[in-house]
Amino acid sequence: MSQERFTARIRWQADADPTWEIETAHDGYRTAEDAALFANGFLEAGADELRLEAGRFFLTLTDRSSIELPSDSVQIWRLPDDGAELQVADDRDFKRVHESIEHLSALGFDGGFTQIKYGVTDATGAQVNVVLGLNETGNLSVTVEDIPGELLEDASFAFGIIPRA
């Protein structure tokens, strides 16, 4: 039996300003499928909402419980304003910033963040391609596809779209 552990990575967009995004990491999943199901809120205690309150991030789960996220599981990303007019921003357009969570609160970002993308990595940090979707009967399908096992740099992480029914 494999002891490999997987991490769910979720990208959240600030409700107050879509040029700011938060990436949260949730590790310890036995399978890539479980990590993807957690990230999409399809487990009994899956990810549901992210809120910033007074310099602390709280994740509400689908069972309505809530946990405070440690700061080392949170990355802050921003779309730089370089004067160029972007029609549609891509993940590569966002740059990681080293702001503190407390500073985000001071900037007025207390409130909600919308879950927009997810990804799964294995124990070595390599991306695992897990695709969630609805099949022709409307049931959830989970597919893990082989991809070259390369380690990911922050800006090159490929996220999947959160499927919504």
Q: For residue range 10-52, what is the model confidence (pLDDT) as tens digits?
A: 999 999 999 999 999 999 999 999 999 999 998 999 999 999 9
Q: For residue range 134-146, what is the model confidence (pLDDT) as tens digits?
A: 777 877 777 787 6
| The amino acid at 1 | M
Look at residue 150 and tell me whether its pLDDT is greater than 60: no
CA angle 16, 22, 27 (to 5 degrees): 145
Whose CA is closest to 162, among 135, 137, 133, 141? 133
Tell me the pTM: 0.82
Look at residue 153 and tell me whether its pLDDT is greater than 70: no
Task: Kindly list the domain boundaries of the chain, sorted by start residue.
Answer: 6-161
Q: For residue range 24-35, what is the model confidence (pLDDT) as tens digits?
A: 999 999 999 999
Measured CA to CA, the distance from residue 57 to residue 62 in angstroms comes to 16
